[in-house]
A = this chain, B = another copy of it.
Amino acid sequence: MVVRVDLSEEDVDRIFKALADRTRRDILERAIHREQSVSALAHHYDMSFAAVQKHVAVLERAALVTKERRGREQIVRTNGPTIARAIALLDQYEQLWVDRAVQIDAVLARSDEEGGG
């Protein structure tokens, strides 16, 4: 799958900061598995509702999840495309690294030829 990466540095900051917390990764995973209310999510953690609420807010600001009112509940739903964009970002780094590795291999192969011939 091809995903364009048109994120600002601030966007990228928000995404990786959001992913850099164990609780938030867990919330994200649960939300992927099944969309559910903030309080339903909060039941799983040994911390206050407000704390979980803040974590969800961080994920929301990073656009990793969206919230939608349903009655008195706020339903948390994963925003797949943002994950895809983060992957695309890292893929770019990795591709650079792979390209670089290939270049180095080429250089080494050439010195082998020179040294051996």
Contacts and interface: CB of A to CB of B under 8 A. Distances in A.
Interface stretch (A9-17, A38-46, A47-55): A9-17
Which one of A25, A80, A91, A94 has the highest number of Cβ atoms from chain B below 10 Å of its Cβ? A94
Interface residues of chain A: helix, strand, loop or mixed (majority)? helix
In the complex, the count of this chain's copies comes to 2
Chain A residues touching B, range? 20 to 34
Given A16-B16, A80-B101, A86-B90, A96 B22 contact: no
A2 interface: no
Interface string A78-117: 1010011011001101101110110000000000000000
Contact of A13 (B21, B33, B83, B100): B21
